[in-house]
Amino acid sequence: MAYPMVSLNLHGVSDKETHYPPIFCIICLELLSLKLFEAANKPKFGIGIKFSPGDQKIPCMMFANDCLIFSKANFSTCCTLKYILEEFCNVSGQMINFHNASLTFPKNATHAQKYLASGILNITCSDSLGKYLGCPAFQGSPKMSTFQDSQHSKGGLKCPPFKIPEL
């Protein structure tokens, strides 16, 4: 079964009008995470992936305001995921940034599955998730060439000199 990786960037649309504190976004993402874990634990919902047969399903990975959601590419799963995301937006006042959001599929996903998921979720398809924190995301096993663009000099990444202030 094909598992599209849904990369969603979330941001507070009404932050400027309501002056939400930054911690509000983190709390909202925690609530989204709980909803996704709840859906992942229900049989036949199709949200989440297992790394081995005895493991618990992992529905998402989050960092700051970025969220990767894992789900099957079928009609009922995409509808469930859309409902969870719409409920999240309605309750939290946050909104999905569809300009930055993308769907990424494994090589065994059919064109029909890609079209179906993209149509239901109203998110464009992408061949990769692009770069995250300066490195390509989910591009197979990392090699030296993967990080070549990130290197600032021939000797590798260099940090600026750090001095400990005297007290």
pLDDT value, residue 10: 55
Does residue 93 fall inside a structural domain? Answer: yes
Residue 164 has pLDDT above 60, yes or no: yes
pLDDT, one tens digit per residue, over 16-51 is 445 667 777 778 888 899 999 999 998 888 888 888
pLDDT value, residue 45: 83
Does residue 145 fall inside a structural domain? Answer: yes
Total number of domains constituting the chain:
1
Model-wide pTM > 0.95: no
Residue 52 has pLDDT above 70, yes or no: yes
Domain extent at residue 145: 5-150
Does residue 159 fall inside a structural domain? Answer: no
pLDDT > 70 fraction of the chain, expressed in percent and rounded: 63
CA distance 33 to 36: 5
Does residue 109 fall inside a structural domain? Answer: yes
Per-residue three-class SS string for the chain = CCCCEEEEEEEECCHHHHCCCHHHHHHHHHHHHHHHHHHHCCCCCCECECCCCCCCCECEEEECCEEEEEECCCHHHHHHHHHHHHHHHHHHCEEECCCCCEEECCCCCCHHHHHHHHHHHCCCEECCCCEECCEECCCCCCCHHHHHHHCCCCCCCCCCCCCCCCC
pLDDT, one tens digit per residue, over 105-133 is 887 888 888 899 889 988 888 777 666 66
- Specify whether the CB–CB gap between 40 and 78 falls below 8 A: no
Band (pLDDT 50/70/90 cuts) for residue 144 is low
Does residue 163 fall inside a structural domain? Answer: no
Does residue 103 fall inside a structural domain? Answer: yes
Bridging pattern class, strands 131-132 and 60-63 = unpaired
Does residue 116 fall inside a structural domain? Answer: yes
